[in-house]
Structures are given as C-alpha cells and as structure tokens.
A and B are shown apart, each in its own frame.
Chain A
Amino acid sequence: MMSVWSRRPHFLHLGLFTAAYVLGCGFAQALAIVPGTGISIWPPSGLFMATLILASRHSWPWWVLGGCLAELFSNALWFHNPLSVALLIYTGNVLEAVAGAWLVTWACRRPFRLETLQEVLTLVVLGAGIAPVASATVGSATLAWFGMQTFAAAWPLFWLGDATGVLIVAPLALAVLQNCGGRTQLSAARWMEACVLGLIFLGVAALSLSGHLPSAYIVMPPLLWAAVRFEFKGAAVALTLLALITVVFTISGTSQFVGDPEFQKQMQFALQLFLAISAFSVLTVAAVSRQHQQALLTLRDSERELSQLVDMVPSHVWRLTPDGEPTFFNKRMIDFLGLDVADLDKRGMSRLEAVIETIHPDEAIGFGDALRRSLATGENFALRYRLRRADGVYHWMSSRAEPMRDQNGRIVQWYGLCHDIDDQMHAEEALRRSERELQQLVDALPVHVWSWTPDGKLAYVNKRSLEELGLSGANFEGSTMVAQKLVHPEDAPEVLRTSANCLKAGDAFMMRYRRRCKDGSYRWMEGRCEPLRDQDGTIVHWYQVSIDIDDQMHAEEALRRSERQLQQMIDAVPVRIWSVRPTGGPIYFNKRYQDHFRAVIPNFDALGEPRIETLLQELIHPEDASEVQCTLRNCFDTGGGSAMRFRWREKDGAYRWAECRVEPRRDQDGVIAEWYGVSLDIDHEVRAQEALRERERELSLLVEMVPSHLWRVSPEGETTFANKHMADYFGLDVEDKPRMEAVFNTMFHPDEVDEVWDVFARCLRTGEPFSMTYRLRRHDGVYRWMSGRAEPMRDESGRIVQWFGLCHDIDNQVRAEEALRRASERLARATQAASLAELSASIGHEVNQPLAAIVANSQACHRWLSAEPPNVERAKITAERITRDANSAADVVSRIRALFRQTTNAKSSENINRVISEVCRLMADEIAAKDIRVETNLEPDLPPVALDCVQVQQVLVNLIRNGIEAMEAVVEGARALQIRSSRDDLHAIRVEVRDTGTGFKDADRVFEPFFTTKQHGMGMGLAICRSIIESHGGSLWTANDEARGATVAFTLPLATNGGSATMS
C-alpha cells in the first residue's frame, strides 16, 4: 500500500485526466444517436489506454480510481444506468484499458512513442482490436443480464465504439501527453501549409458529411495529406477535427449518418466504421510517412558521418580513375598539399604528373614507375616516399592503393590511402642509430659482455671479449671452453659449480676470480650474470658482464693493509685516542687508552662498555671532572670542537696534566658522523710553562728592580719600553707618551746633549753599538753621571728589530775616581820620597863595590910589603889598583851628582827632535870611539812637548850608552844604533832607540834597581830612566827585536793638550 501511495501520480494530472474522462463521456453521449443502443463511439477508452501506456504500472490504481469517479459522475449526469450496471460496465472498461496498455507495452517495449509502423499496427491490432473485446463482452453481458439489450446486438456496437474511441483518441492523447513538455516549432511555410490544409479539410469534411458530396470518404485525401505531411500530430488533430465535425453534423441531423430510425442502427455502424477506417488509414499513412522520413534522416546522417570520416581520418584518402587521373582528395590531403584535385588542372600537365611533382625528387621517378605498373597490371600499389607539404617541407608517407572492380572484373576506380610516417621514419632512423651506438658502446666498453640462451648456450660475445681472449666469433662453444680454461685453476671449480647452479635455479650470478691474460699473468675479474625475464617470469636470456677489477682488488688489499697500518699506528702513537658516534654508540679507545684504563681502573674489563661519566669520575681529578664533562656535553650539543686541560690519574695514583682535543668529523652533508678525541700527556709542558712563567715573572721583576735603566727602542728611535727604575728616575709614567717626549728632550746635560744625540743617531743609522758616558737629569733636577750602552737585536736576515739599552748610574764611581786620582797624585809624591831611600841604597852599592876592592887591595899591599922579604913588585901593582878603584868610585859619585843636579828645573816646551840632535852631538866622540854608526829617523813638524830638557837628555844618553855597551860584544855585522821619533797618536809622541846587540835576556827584570847585565853597570840606568819618563806623564818599555838587538821606547804627552781626552 505504501508503494502505491508513494508512487501516486501528480494530483493535477489525475484531476485533468478525470475531467477529460468526463468530457469524453459527454462526447460519447452526444454521438449516441440511436437510443438504447448505447454509444457509438467511446473516447474515454482511448484516453484511458493512452494514459496507462504512458503511466507507470504502479500508479495504475490511481488512474483506475480517477476513471471510476469520472464514469460514475457521467453515469449520474447522462447515462442514468443503475449503479451496479455502471460499475460493471466500468469494470469492463478498466479491463479493456489495462489489457490494451499491457499488451501494447509488452509488444513494443517502453517508451511507446507511436512513431513506427510497428507501433501503429500494434496499437490498432492489440489496443483497438483485441482489448475492446474485454469491455464489449463485459458490457454486453451486463446489458443482457439486466435485460436492457441482447448480448449479440450490443456486442458489435460496443466493440466498435470502443475500438473507434481507441483509434481516434489514443493517438491524440499520446501526442498531447508526450508533447505537453516540448513545443515543436513549425516554420512559416509549414504553418501556411497547415492553414491551407485545415481550410481544405474543413471544407471537404463539411461538404461531404453534410451530404453535399456523394461519399463521406471524400474527406480521406486531406486526411492522408495531413498524415503524410504532419505525421502523427497532423493525423491526430485531423482525426479529432473529423470526429468533432461528425458529432456536430450528427447532432444537427444533417449528417449522412442520420436517417431513418430503422436504418439508424446500420447508420451508426457505418459512422463507427467510417471513423474507424479513417483513423486506421490515417494512422497507417502517418506511420509509413514517419518511417520514411526517419529512413531518409538516417541515410543523410550516415552519409554525413561517412564524409566526415573520410575527411577526419588521419590519412590521405584519394581516388584515381583507371587510367590514373586523380578524382578525389580528402580534406587532410588537400590541407597537406595545399591544393585540391581541381587545382591540378591548371598546371598545363596531366593531373598525375602534377601529383608526381609534389613528390621528393629522389623518389618521384620510382613513384611514377610503380604507379604506372600497378595501373597497367592491376596489382596493388604500395610505396614509401616523401611528399611535399604546402609549406615546402617533405614528409615521409606510406601509400597504398587498391583497384575496385565491377562484376566483370574490370577496374572501375583506384582507391588510395596514404598516411604520414614521418615521425615513424625519424624514429626508426633514431632507433637504428641508437642501436648502432649501443653496439659500438657494447664493443667499446672495457668489459666482456656475453649473453646466453636459457639452456646455457652462448648467444653473443662482444668484440673486446673476443679480441682479449683471442677467439674468433664463429666458434662460441670454443669460446666457452677457452674461457673456462682461462680461469685460474684455484678458482675454476668454484666458478663452474656456481654458474651451473645459477643456470639451474635462475638466480643472478656474481663471482670474483682470476683470469689469465694474453701475457700469461692472472688478473682479478668480477663476473656478473643476470637473467632477463618476460612478463610470465620465464627466463628469456642470460646476460653476463666481466669486469677487470684487478686494480680494485689490489687497491682493496692496499686499503686493508693501510687500514691495518693505521690501526697499528693509532695503537702505537704515544697519544690516547678515542672516538664516539653522535648517536651515542660504543666508544672506541685505542690500545694505549685501554692499557691506561686497565692500569688505573681496577676491574676495568668488568665494566664492559663504560659510560663516559664513569670514566671521567674514575680518571680525572675531581676538581677538573665536572668542567670536562660540561665541555664535552657542550661540544656534543653544539657540534663545535674543543680543547681541554685536566689532570688525570696514573697507575701510581699520581695526577698528571693532560690535554684532550675533541673535533667532529662531518660527512658531505655537514652532518656529524663521528667524534674524535686525542689525549696527550702534557705534564712536562704544563710544568715547564709554569716554571717559564715563574722565570718570566722573576725576569720581569728583575728588569723592574735592576738598579739600572733598561730601555728598548724601535729601529726608528721610538722608546717602546722603560723599566721602573728608569721611570722612577725621570719621575714619569711609561704610558704617558707626551710627558715622556718632554722628559727625553731635556734629559741630557746641556754640555753633552748635542753630542749624545749625534752619536745615538749615528748608531741607529749604522747599527754599531752605542756606548757613552754622560749626565742625565733626574726628576729633581740633579744631573748624575751615567754610563749608557745600547746594542741592536737583529733577526735572521740581519735586519735590526730592536735596540736594547742599559744605562747605569756611575755618578758615585766618577766621583770616587776623581777622589782616587787625587789620592794617587798624593801617593806619587810619597813614592818619590820613598824611592830616594831606595836610590841611596843603590848609590851605596855602587860605591861599596870599588871601596871593597880598595880595602882588600890595601890590605894585600900591606901584606906584600910586610912579607920577608917584602914583595915590592906585587905591592906596587896592588897600589896602582887601589888608585884605579878609588878613581872609579869618584866617577860614580860624580855621575850620581850629575843625575840629580837639575831635578828641580821647571819643564819647558821643547821640540823633541832638537833634544835628540843635541844628545847625538854631545856623544859624537864616544860613539866614534866605539866604531858605531848612529842613524836618526826623525819625523818633521812634530808638535812641541813639555819636558825637563836635562832629564830627558840623561835618559837619551843612558839609552844610547846601553845600546853601545850591548853592541860591544858583537863582532860580526854592522854595529848600528837607530834613533826614531814619531807621532804616537793624537796626544803623544814616541821615541825609539834600537841597537843590534845581544838583546835583553831577562826583560822582566831590567827595571829592578840593582839588576844589570853589564860588566861595569851599576843596575840603575833603566829604572831611573823610567821614573824620569813617568814623571813627564809618559811611559817607557823595552822589547827584543825579531832578528837581533833590543829596542827601548818611550812616549811623551804633547804640550798643548795637557788634560784627559775623555770627559771622565
């Protein structure tokens, strides 16, 4: 029930249906001209059936209900039948409508459009013919039952009325119901035609039905016209109009079908028959017309499609006459060539020649020949050639043509198809090239490429492989044998076994083995073999590649060796190395580290993989452990390297300083791959550094505290350092540059300032060491004597880097020296007095000697005279000797007197050369007596000397006499005495007396007062000479000559420059 309710039709449609049904009933009543015979035409049957045909079967109860209401309403209005009769008759009508609708839709399937002849016939036969049987039977039986009519009389009319109703109304209803949504627009011409037709139809119908024309059937031509031209809609409208006109005339009584009452029954039958025949004819014609129109339309469509197909097919389609003249090109071909068949005529040549002209010159002749041969023989034509496109570019085309023959086998036409294979040709060319390149590649590859069939037969060997194995390509079996023989005997069984297994199992093969080369040496090869499988997984082919990996194998071996060496090195280097992965993987420690752990940490091995924290606690000094741990964590967090110093424990429990450097190793992407750490024992270094720092501190302290000025100057002369002592002396701050400049500008005593700066500037310029004595101004304004020295420090290239200077206070020393000098002068005077005593002793000795001889001789003389008899002779001799000795003693005295006679004389400025010349003149006799030659070599223009002339003459006389006496013993050679004077240096002159005698035998003692080597010397000469010279401020010394003889030389200071040359 719910489904019936839910599928209810639109109530507006239901209402309209009911209203139309009522109208239909009214129309039937109007045509019921024969009383008691019921109706002559029953339009509701057509309406009902058409509605059910179009409505869904589930909604049929609603339409039945609507129809029932309409019929009962009509019965009450017009028919006045008892209710039971009305219901039974309606039941018959329902049966008829349901049966008709069901049969029609069963026969024609939905949707039922009433467009084909089959549908029209189905409606006529099943809907109008068979279905009314039900209503006629039920209705007639009802009438008969109630005694209103006989069954036999009622049935035909009933059937015919219903059938006519169906024939007339059902098409109209179908047309109206189906087209109520969309309006078909008619052209103006069609509207005109419709109007003209309508007028003609109305006129003819009016004339014929009103009896002015002999037969009602004259109305048929306009009816058929409407059916032919306007098909079902025209037919339906015309039939409806016909029915209405008939009704009008029937009601008015002017109809042909109104006549005598006895004929009324027949007349009604005739009317029904007229309407039925008209309707049947018109519908049939409309259907045929419709079908014809449809066929025409279909044909046109198909022709258009075919034409489109020919034009749209992506190939050139063309047609030739049997003698080869082109008669058709499809659109693509026209577009391609840029000309149509008709355009070919304009060239002044045959069409075929014009076509050949568009073909590439290389293929044009071949094309013409092939086509003419095909035309002549009737063979199919097939050729590839290049065809010129409209823009002049040639495209490769594949063209085929076949002849069409008539029943007699005569060729009627040639049809050709030609498609663009330019891309394909290029692709094929590229493929061939790529194949050739691939072949070259395979041959050029420095590998051996072999391929095998699935059953293990050799299918391909590349060129290189053949060449290197020394094989010919033909004998593949031989290749296999040779290849097997070439494998190193040690590897061969394994290679054979593995390859056999792989072939059997279909697994990939990969092996490394040694293979003999042409030169007999074995090289490592890597052979790989893999199967190629098709979609089903079946092996199609085996491909094998053998690569020479000898270098790689050796490299790997070298790598392993180098790795081992590296490991040994890491274990051997005297540092401790560790590494750890950033993910916190196991820590690696080199052997030294592990030994260290074992030595320091008890049961270290039991720890397994110790955590860093544990090791830190165990190893590192408690004061350093936390910082080390913190630094390490910081490194791992930030990814930066670090270096830490800490103390670690050694096995004896003592702590030593160590340094650990941590660096990450990063991969190409910059991600940290590993952490490395190196720990070094730097205990010595740290302690040395400490000692060094201590020393530096001490040294710095020393520099600061040394009681001298220490300073440093750049090569340009800028003071870069001054020690504390210096700063304190000047009362300045070393950092205070301007003040320092001011101090430095005024620090020297005005007497020396220019000289000091000059010397210092010269030293800076030349690099020679600086050394000067000068006075420096102290901060309190007091000048103190200083001894300043500076030396340059040079780099490897000898360039001066810095000057270091030292300046110490010698003020006290200078003053002490001054005091000393004064004391010394006093001492000299005291010494002079002391040497007088010594001199007197010397004089005593000189006199005692002859006195002793005199005493002895006089005693002897006395004895000689006292003897018995007196020896007068001896006494005389002795007395003579006494006289001689006494004279000698007197000489001594007189010489001593001469020596000291003028000691008090003042010194005068004298020319030394003049003094020498005078002495030589005085001694000329003595010299001549000894047969000695004197040579004087005096430098002219010598400055005068302040001297005591007599004393210096005594010295010269003494020296000349010494020389003469020294040469007395010399027999051979010239006895020459040489006297020279010269400028000694700036401040002195020099005099030399040189003899050619025996020289000094004991040079150290010649100045001792009583030392003498002379027979008659008294050992005083040189001592006195020296004291005289020294009293003049000069010096006297002796020297032996290389060859022979001796030199005595003395210097005398110049008279003009009495003071010291130095400032001190």
Chain B
Amino acid sequence: MIKRRPVVAVVDDDPRLLESLENLLESAGYVARSFSSARSLLISGLSGLDVLITDIGMPGMDGFELCDLVKKVRPDLPMFLITGRHEIADADQAEGVSGCFRKPFDAQVMLAAIGDVLRKSKNGG
C-alpha cells in the first residue's frame, strides 16, 4: 500500500507568502493547497485536508472567523494561525487552535509542529 501524503491548506492574502509556504511544505513532503482568501478555501471544501494554516489579517473573512467556522464542520482538523502583527499574537490562546506563528516565523519549528499534530491525529484516529 502506498502511504498517502498529508494535505496542508494555506490561506493568506499575500501571494509572496503563499508561494513561499507552498514551497516549504512541498519540500517537507506535504501536499500544499494555497488559497488567497477564506472564501476560496470554503468554496474548494474542507474534505481531504489534514492541516489548515491561515493568516489572521485578511480582507473579507479574517483568520479567527475562518477558524470558528471550520471548527464547526471539522472539529478534528488541526489549525495554525500566522500573523504579521505582534500586537495580536496572543491570539494563539484561541480555543481549538494547534499553534500560532508570528511572521517571520521559524520554518523548522512550523514543520515540526505540523508533524506533531499529524502524528497525534494518526494515533488518536
């Protein structure tokens, strides 16, 4: 049996950051799916996703709102928040969120955190 590669969705309105995260995740062996807004993610659907990474400050629906929505549909889906503003960094205390990273974040730490949540969900599941 071929082991399926985990799918990580990234939502950010900055195309340069989206591009760099996709590059990073693919280099780490994940399947990366990029969305420029929360709306485009919801249109695409949440099924098949293993991890969600979303920016907080976005036009339209922001990161917190997206998290609240996703929690209702996929309470098991691990989510990470990323933000460019240090003042709202305490948002990592938000409920049901696996982690929060401030830009510029340490890519190794992020990949490790993703690996952790995927292992936990496999053991739990």
Contact = CB atoms under 8 A, between A and B. Distances in A.
A1060 to B, nearest CB: 39
Interface in B14-69: 14-17, 19-21, 23-24, 26-28, 57, 59
Interface in A842-876: 844-845, 848-860, 863-864, 867, 871, 874
A850 B18 CA distance: 11
Nearest to B102: A848
Contact of A851 (B23, B26, B104, B108): B104
Closest 9 pairs (CB-CB, A-B)? A859-B107, A852-B103, A863-B27, A856-B20, A852-B104, A853-B20, A860-B23, A860-B24, A851-B104
Interface in B64-109: 82, 84-87, 102-108
B17 to A, nearest CB: 5
A16 interface: no
Contact of B107 (A860, A867, A1013): A860
Interface residues of B, number: 27
A184 B121 CA distance: 203
Contacts of A845: 84-85
Interface string A862-902: 01100100010010011001001100100000000000000
A674 to B, nearest CB: 95
B86 A844 contact: yes
A459 interface: no
B14 to A, nearest CB: 6
A367 interface: no
A849 B27 contact: no
A856 B14 contact: no
A841 interface: yes
B16 A849 contact: yes
A1015 interface: yes
24 contacts: A848-B104, A849-B84, A850-B16, A851-B103, A852-B20, A852-B104, A852-B105, A855-B105, A856-B17, A856-B24, A857-B23, A859-B27, A859-B108, A860-B23, A860-B26, A860-B107, A863-B24, A863-B28, A864-B27, A877-B23, A881-B23, A1010-B85, A1012-B59, A1015-B15
A850 to B, nearest CB: 6
B23 A848 contact: no
Contacts of B59: 1012-1013
A455 B51 CA distance: 148
Q: Which of B19, B23, B26 has the most CB of A within 10 A?
A: B23
B59 to A, nearest CB: 6
B87 A841 contact: yes
A867 B20 contact: no
B85 A856 contact: no
Contacts of A859: 24, 27, 107-108, 111
A881 B104 CA distance: 16
B107 A855 contact: yes
B20 A857 contact: yes
Given A853-B14, A859-B111, 9 more contacts: A852-B84, A853-B19, A855-B105, A857-B23, A857-B24, A860-B20, A860-B23, A871-B27, A881-B23
A855 B104 contact: yes
Nearest to B87: A841
Contacts of A851: 103-104
A877 B20 CA distance: 11
Contact of A841 (B24, B85, B105, B106): B85
A1012 B111 CA distance: 30
Nearest to A846: B84
A817 B20 CA distance: 56
Nearest to B25: A860
A888 B105 CA distance: 18
Contacts of B102: 848
B18 to A, nearest CB: 9
B85 A860 contact: no
Contact of B27 (A874, A885, A1012, A1015): A874
Given A844-B86, A845-B84, A860 B27 contact: yes
Contacts of A884: 16
A855 B108 CA distance: 10
A851 B19 CA distance: 13
Given A849-B16, A1015-B15, A874 B104 contact: no
Contacts of B27: 859-860, 863-864, 867, 871, 874
A885 B103 CA distance: 14
Interface string A884-925: 110010000000000000000000000000000000000000
A881 B27 CA distance: 15
A582 to B, nearest CB: 100
Given A852-B103, A855-B104, A881-B19, A1010 B24 contact: no
A849 B57 contact: no
A1013 to B, nearest CB: 6
A853 B17 contact: yes
Contacts of B21: 856
Given A841-B87, A849-B84, A855 B23 contact: no
A888 B15 CA distance: 13
B16 A848 contact: no
B84 A848 contact: yes
A100 B53 CA distance: 205
Given A844-B86, A849-B14, A863-B28, A855 B57 contact: no
Contact of B103 (A849, A860, A871): A849
Q: Which of B24, B85, B111 has the most CB of A within 10 A?
A: B24
A330 to B, nearest CB: 159
A892 to B, nearest CB: 12
B37 to A, nearest CB: 12
Contacts of B111: 859
B42 to A, nearest CB: 19
B103 A848 contact: yes
A852 B82 CA distance: 10
B84 A874 contact: no
A853 B57 contact: no
A410 to B, nearest CB: 175
A883 to B, nearest CB: 12
Contacts of B26: 860
Nearest to A845: B84
Nearest to A855: B104
B7 to A, nearest CB: 18
Interface string A999-1024: 00000000000101101000000000
Contacts of B57: 1010
A1002 to B, nearest CB: 8
A841 B57 CA distance: 14
A677 B81 CA distance: 98
A211 B98 CA distance: 231
Contacts of B23: 856-857, 860, 874, 877-878, 881
B15 to A, nearest CB: 7
A69 B104 CA distance: 212
A859 B104 CA distance: 12
Contacts of B85: 841, 845, 1010
A245 to B, nearest CB: 205
Contact of A855 (B15, B28, B86, B106): B106
Q: Which of A858, A860, A881, A1010 has the most CB of B within 10 A?
A: A860
Nearest to A1019: B57
Contacts of A863: 24, 27-28
A705 to B, nearest CB: 56
A887 to B, nearest CB: 11
Q: Which of A863, A877, A1010 has the most CB of B within 10 A?
A: A863
Nearest to A857: B20
A839 to B, nearest CB: 14
A205 B103 CA distance: 221
A305 to B, nearest CB: 166
B78 to A, nearest CB: 19
A1010 B56 CA distance: 12
Nearest to A1012: B59
Contacts of A855: 20, 104-107
Nearest to A882: B20
B107 A849 contact: no
